């Protein structure tokens, strides 16, 4: 059977189209909960400063915060073409960001780990004024297992018993098999984790293990943002990862703070309400007595980040934006 030449050419061109040429999913499809949050009718919109800005932003940031930082800065550069950013101050862990802020080597930093009281005191003693800080995005650690796993909930002490070795959260015994965790016949429990010096792992260690040491036989999770690839082939696996929409290759567990307390799934209502126990925030830090003392480009960056437009860039990465109340509180803390 012969095809007309024009139809044959069209079919060949259509077959050759790469996947990335397809229309990307809308925010309502890729992150529906974030889309709902940003759809509040009175969510604050960005109002740019009237004068064009030039200069170089040099933020200190971690690998996780880069996911939305890059989008924010790219959009801001469209509004102020003379504004650029220096990407050199990137760290694999938020600990490096905080160290740069404390040493005075950075005047702007984004971290997924908050400064401790001792670090805030050290900053104030060095510079003579408190650090400017505000939350700029939400995240939650999801606990993931293989979809064939019959367990639906765990407690924080159980997670400590699975991942830790000192039972600091109050469990009586370490959990090394799924039988011990409540799945009869489940076999050995394979605990996966990403790089332990990353902010995600540090947060888990502080929140779940209460700063205690990890078990010695952790399995490596090389793609912490896409744990499905590892868990899909291991029915005995458990892993923790950042909040993201997940597919059918994994099951997301509900988590309770303690035994006999209600477990909550990592859904936005429980994340924003901080009922889900593994909630964390991304925090911005700035070195100045007040926001008026910051360079104009830094003020504009903060103004954009804490607006509908900036929070949309946060949502595009899969994280959750601040709700309206949180956004206004953050702006007030910075004096915007």
Contacts of 226 (CB under 8 A, 6+ apart): none
Looking at residue 15, what is its pLDDT? 42
CB 209 within 8 A of CB 167: no
Cβ neighbour number for residue 82 with a 10 Å cutoff: 11
Q: Which residue has the tokens 């399995």?
A: 219
The predicted-structure confidence for 227-262, as pLDDT tens digits, reads as follows 888 888 899 999 999 888 788 999 999 999 999 999
Contacts of 115 (CB under 8 A, 6+ apart): 98, 101, 123, 131, 133, 283, 285
Looking at residue 57, what is its pLDDT? 85
Distance CA 322, CA 112 (A): 14
Looking at residue 114, what is its pLDDT? 87
Looking at residue 154, what is its pLDDT? 97
Distance CA 202, CA 95 (A): 9
Looking at residue 91, what is its pLDDT? 67
* End-to-end CA gap in the chain: 70
The model carries a pTM of 0.78
Helices (H), strands (E): how many in the chain? 14, 13
The predicted-structure confidence for 181-212, as pLDDT tens digits, reads as follows 999 999 999 999 988 877 788 889 999 999 99
Looking at residue 269, what is its pLDDT? 86
Looking at residue 24, what is its pLDDT? 57
Domain 27-138+279-334 has CATH 3.40.190.10: yes
The class level of CATH for 140-272 reads: alpha beta
pLDDT by residue for the chain (336 residues), tens only, comes to: 444 444 444 444 334 434 434 455 788 887 787 888 899 889 999 999 988 888 888 888 887 788 888 889 899 989 999 888 877 766 667 888 999 999 998 899 998 888 999 999 999 999 999 999 999 998 889 999 999 999 999 999 999 999 999 999 999 999 999 999 999 999 999 999 988 877 788 889 999 999 999 999 999 887 766 788 888 889 999 999 988 878 899 999 999 999 999 999 998 889 888 899 999 899 999 999 999 999 999 999 999 999 999 999 998 887 889 999 999 999 999 999
What 304-307 contacts at long range (C-beta under 8 Å, 24+ apart), as own/partner pairs, is 304/46, 304/48, 304/72, 304/75, 304/76, 304/79, 305/72, 305/136, 306/44, 306/134, 306/136, 306/330, 306/331, 306/334, 306/336, 307/44, 307/45, 307/46
Distance CA 158, CA 164 (A): 10
Alpha-carbon torsion angle 72, 76, 82, 84, nearest 10:
-10
Cβ neighbour number for residue 42 with a 10 Å cutoff: 7
Interhelix angle 66-79/296-305, rounded to 10 degrees, is 120
Distance CA 60, CA 63 (A): 10
Q: How do the domains of the chain map onto residue ranges?
A: 27-138+279-334, 140-272
Same-fold call for 27-138+279-334 versus 140-272:
yes
Looking at residue 312, what is its pLDDT? 94
């Amino acid at each position: 059977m012969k095809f007309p030449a024009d139809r044959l050419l069209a079919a060949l061109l259509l077959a050759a189209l790469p996947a990335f040429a397809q229309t990307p999913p809308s925010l309502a499809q890729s992150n529906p909960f974030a889309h709902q949050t940003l759809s509040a009718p009175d969510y604050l919109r960005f109002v740019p400063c009237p004068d064009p800005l030039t200069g170089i932003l040099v933020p200190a940031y971690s690998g996780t915060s880069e996911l939305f930082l890059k989008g924010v800065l790219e959009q801001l550069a469209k509004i102020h073409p003379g504004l650029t950013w220096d990407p050199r101050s990137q760290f694999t862990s938020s600990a490096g960001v905080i160290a740069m802020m404390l040493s005075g080597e950075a005047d702007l930093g984004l971290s997924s780990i908050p400064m401790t009281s001792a670090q805030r005191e050290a900053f104030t003693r060095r510079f003579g004024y408190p650090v400017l800080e505000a939350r700029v995005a939400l995240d939650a650690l999801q606990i993931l297992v293989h979809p064939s796993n019959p367990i639906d909930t765990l407690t924080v002490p159980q997670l400590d018993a699975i991942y830790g070795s000192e039972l600091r959260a109050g469990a009586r015994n370490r959990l090394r098999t799924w039988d011990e965790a409540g799945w009869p016949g489940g076999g050995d429990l394979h605990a996966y984790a990403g790089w332990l010096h990353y902010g995600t792992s540090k947060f888990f260690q502080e929140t779940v293990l209460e700063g205690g040491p990890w078990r010695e036989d952790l399995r490596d999770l090389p793609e912490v943002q896409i744990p499905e690839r590892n868990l899909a082939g291991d029915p005995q696996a458990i892993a923790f990862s950042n909040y993201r929409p997940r597919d059918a290759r994994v099951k997301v567990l509900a988590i309770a703070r303690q035994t006999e307390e209600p477990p909550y799934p990592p859904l936005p209502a429980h994340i924003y309400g901080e009922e889900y126990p593994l909630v964390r925030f991304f925090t911005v830090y700035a070195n100045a007595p007040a926001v008026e003392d910051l360079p104009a480009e830094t003020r504009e960056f903060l103004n954009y980040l804490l607006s509908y437009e900036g929070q949309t860039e946060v949502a595009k990465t899969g994280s959750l934006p601040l709700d309206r109340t949180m956004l206004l509180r953050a702006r007030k803390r910075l004096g915007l």
